[in-house]
Chain A
Amino acid sequence: MKNVTLCAKWMGLVFAALFLAACSSNETKEAEAAAAAAAEQAAQETAAREAEQQAQAQAQQVREEAAADVGTVFYFDFDSSSLTDDARGQVDAHISALLGNNASVRLEGHTDERGTREYNLALGERRANAVRDYMVANGVPSYRIETISYGEENPLAYGSGESNWQQNRRVELK
């Protein structure tokens, strides 16, 4: 009896071991399959993400090229700090680019030579602020924008007359 009991115990242990082994073997296969599926899914996701990132990068590149194409000088009408339609179009291109990167920009306001230098410093600041405010209203964080006014200093065109003056009434993005 004693042996039978012992034998049964052993058998029990063997079965238990076999059962466990079988279980373990099944679990390994399932895990492997799951892992493979997950890996495949991850790979697909990575690929998709990479594709998306690539697409985003390409889109950002397109936006930055578009911003570069419109130039970094925005011109203003005489005695005005309102963005012209042309200037608004240009600034829109830069806003699109800025919303897709973390770049900081400096907006330099300028006037033509008419009127007093110190008053012109204030007018140049108004122009730079007008561009800044438009950018901020369209989602560019204000901390990424610095404004500065040069007034009538650093003209693009040295001569007098409207053909020169209109080149000097500007905000430059740097």
Chain B
Amino acid sequence: MVLTKRWGIVLLLLCVSGVRAELQIEINQGVENPTPIAVVPFAWQGVGSPPEDVAQIIDSDLARSGQFAPVSRRDMLSYPTRESALFFRDWRAISAEYVLIGRVTVGAQARIDFQLFDTTRQEAVESGTVTGPVSELRMLSHRVSDSVYETLTGIPGAFATRLLYVSVTRNPTGKDFYRLTLADSDGRRPIVLLEGREPILSPAWSPDGTEVAYVSFETSRPAIYRQNLRTGEREQLTNFKGLNNSPAWSPDGNSMALVLSKDGNPDIYLLNLKSRALTRLTRHFAIDTEPTWMPDGKSLLFTSDRGGRPQIYRYDLRTQKIERVTFEGRYNARARVAQDGRNVALVHQRDGRYHIAVFDLVTDRLTVLTETSLDESPSIAPNGSIVLYATKRGEASILGAVAVDGGVRFSLPAREGSVQEPAWSPYVTP
């Protein structure tokens, strides 16, 4: 079977799934002494009542990071929305180190003006404005969170991003029900992109965040599809005999690494998305799978059991040389590289338990981040600070998140059923 070039518009993006695919967020562990910050309710300058509580969205983002301890509104002595109404003593009295105030204006566009103050130094440390479509007011609020987070931690925030994941409703007497879901990074506004009774696997983002790729068994055989999030166009990219899995977009967006077993056993291939030329990269009787790109696009990491047990290897596209990367332990698989090109999140087995670990490509040091025993599918936030992954709670699969430094942990269970295979989006162009 050759590559198919059928484009089809699918009914997607249109079907909001309601609560069923929605994630909840439970913060399990924050940093010691998180920074107290007061996010004061923002002024509303629009017709009717505000569609979103912008300050509450920012408050929740900062709380979820584990690095901040937002002050409760009930404890605030006043609700200033302009600098002229702000009295630092009111905020020092309730031990808020920082105060964020702002105003939301909605006309043809939505606009949020905000100012961040240091109550000790009694001065503004940041002021800014974000604008965008009224329908994207939640995403604009997350952009304020990103900005505040970067000002106070020195690291860009990753709140104005999205998550892709697979939700599964178990059916003990028949086939499970699968949904490929897209949601904001806080789990809100879930949208079902694809659903059905056949498995959906390996969701992946295009580097510009406008497209996703995944594996669907909808034809009763696995095939790789790409789907445009804006237009809803969908295309089946592969339909080979055997495995068709692990699509991984190259950083320049022009090609896709993937796994096919059409020539006998699983190997890594490169599909040129323009010319449709297919190049076989690995050629080994062992299992080669789970390709992922280094951020510079010059090499790929992949999982192979060519040494007897699954370990991470690196394929250099220029020299076509393969070198082994991980040596610690009997099982290291499914690597994902942070944007810094240094931290690699992977699944590491220790004492028969499967944990999420971070491997430092510079020091060759491997650090286990999780204590649960059935962890898989790590995905790193675009700012490199948090690893999202899937784990088990009882019979259900839930998402977990852990800071790369191990300091912060939170869980994202589905309100109903299981959730697995998270893929954190790149920074999306507003």
Binding site for B on A (CB under 8 A): 113-119, 121-123, 125-126, 147-151, 153-154, 158-160
Q: Are B333 and A115 in contact (CB under 8 A)?
A: yes
Is chain A's interface secondary structure helix, strand, loop, or mixed overall? mixed
Report the minimum CB–CB distance from B212 to chain A (whole Å). Answer: 16
- Complex Cα spacing A164 to B32, Å: 40
One of A116, A154, A158 near B377 (C-beta < 8 A): A116
Q: Are B392 and A121 in contact (CB under 8 A)?
A: no
B245 at the interface (CB under 8 A from A): yes
Binding site for A on B (CB under 8 A): 170, 172, 175-176, 199, 201-202, 217, 220-222, 242-243, 245-246, 259, 261, 266, 287, 289-290, 303, 310, 331, 333-334, 347, 349, 354, 374, 376-377, 392, 395, 420-421
- Number of cross-chain contacts by CB at 8 Å: 80
Check A115/B347 contact, CB under 8 A, given A122-B266, A158-B170: yes
Q: Are B245 and A115 in contact (CB under 8 A)?
A: no
One of B172, B201, B266, B349 near A158 (C-beta < 8 A): B172
Check A122/B201 contact, CB under 8 A, given A113-B374, A148-B222, A160-B392: no
Query: Which of B217, B376, B420 has the largest count of A CB atoms less than 10 A from its CB?
Result: B376
Q: Which residues of B contact A122 (CB under 8 A)?
A: 243, 259, 261, 266, 287, 289
Q: Which residues of B contact A159 (CB under 8 A)?
A: 395
Q: Are A154 and B245 in contact (CB under 8 A)?
A: no
Check A149/B377 contact, CB under 8 A, given A114-B354, A121-B289, A154-B199: no
Nearest 4 Cβ contacts at the A-B interface: A153-B199, A116-B334, A122-B287, A116-B333
One of B175, B201, B221, B331 near A118 (C-beta < 8 A): B201
Q: Are A118 and B242 in contact (CB under 8 A)?
A: no
- Complex Cα spacing A115 to B202, Å: 14
Q: Name 24 interchain pairs, CB-CB below 8 A, sorted by A.
A: A115-B331, A115-B347, A115-B354, A115-B376, A116-B334, A117-B202, A117-B377, A117-B420, A117-B421, A118-B202, A118-B246, A119-B287, A119-B289, A119-B290, A119-B303, A119-B333, A121-B243, A121-B289, A122-B243, A125-B242, A149-B243, A150-B217, A154-B175, A158-B395
